[in-house]
Amino acid sequence: MFSCYGRSEQKYRPMGCGMSSEVPEGEPRTVVVFGATGLLGGAVARALLEDPLHFRVRAVTRRPSSERARKLAEEGAVIVTANQNDIASLEKAMEGADAMFLTTHYWEDKNKEKEIVRGLNAIDAAVHKGLTHIVFNGSENVKRAIGKDCGHLDSKAAIEGYLREVGVNFTIIRLPFWYENFYTVFRPHQVKYGVYAIPLPMEGKPLDMISVDDVGGCVMHILARPKFYSRQELNLAADRLSVDQIARVFSKNFFNKKFITPNIRVKDYEKFDFPGAQELAAMFAFYQSDLAIRDIKLTKKLNSNLKTFDKWLDLEAEKVENAIKEGTKEIESTKKT
């Protein structure tokens, strides 16, 4: 299956559950965290740094001099540079480590094959250096599930498949829509003075969601119990709301604004001409399916401090409002040109 990526199906001897051992009390586990200066990896790194008795954080980044890397170092992380296209640099980053949190990135160059290769490289390096537990941010195969291409999710499904074959103990987390999307690509946009649209093509179906910060706490719990969560898929979510309910939560937290939900369908979204529109349409089509329903009860067991969307928006109101204002300025600037 993976021969096209230069991988042999017999490359590694399956390790089995016996390779995963609980670390004795008082001996911290060294966890290699990928994407540590990004949203998801950063949340995991910060959560682990809050428990120095049990974890040491080795934060992997291509930007060791960045402000985010500096802050992680101040909090106790060891910053290492590695390139996911270079297995030698990955192996160096993993020397002497116990576990790895792996998240891979698609949107930087929008290339499914490149993301798969980078993910497989990290797994190969981890297996070669003897890491005993990998937590991976994976996904279902959207193409197989609903017949639509969704590169940024299907790539993660392919990496999942490889992870299952190499024999290392793993835990796969599958995430829903992030709350944080509301101050980036899915921020509400102004349609007229005081009125803002939330154009999510869910067609009446509820949307599972979570804060990226809360995922960090979940991963910390998983890494603390590697035997218990070995070879499991965990579907995480903190809240489940319809788009109309999301709009009402926005209106509650921003009393001087009105939020509406345009009746946008997946097939309408597919016709948008911005880069990635078709893939995002496929993502929302998948989110409408029963396969995308996550387990809120399980997630609360992993992190008792989960935030509902209402609570998160209350805490992040200033950041979201600034994002909305910035979006309004961009629209006004476009109209003038």
For residue 27, what pLDDT is reported? 86
Count Cβ atoms within 10 A of the Cβ of residue 255 and give its class: 0-12 exposed, 13-18 middle, 19 or more buried.
exposed
- Ordered by start, the domain boundaries in the chain are 24-176+211-235, 182-204+239-293+308-336
For residue 307, what pLDDT is reported? 98
Q: Which two tokens stand for residue 101?
A: 């949190």
For residue 244, what pLDDT is reported? 98
Distances (CA, A) of 56 to 44, 52, 73, 77, 96: 12, 6, 12, 7, 12
Report the residue count for the chain: 337
For residue 190, what pLDDT is reported? 94
pTM of the full structure = 0.91
Spatial contact of 213 and 43, defined as CB atoms under 8 Å apart: yes
How far is residue 230 CA from its own chain's centroid?
A: 20
- CATH class of the domain comprising 182-204+239-293+308-336: alpha beta
For residue 337, what pLDDT is reported? 56
The residue behind tokens 């490149």 is 114
End-to-end CA distance of the chain: 50
As a whole number of angstroms, the distance between CA 246 and CA 119 comes to: 34
- CATH class of the domain comprising 24-176+211-235: alpha beta
Taking the chain (337 residues) in consecutive chunks of 10 residues, what is each chunk's mean pLDDT? 56 40 70 97 98 98 92 98 93 98 91 96 98 98 96 97 96 98 95 95 98 98 97 98 98 95 96 93 98 98 98 97 86 62
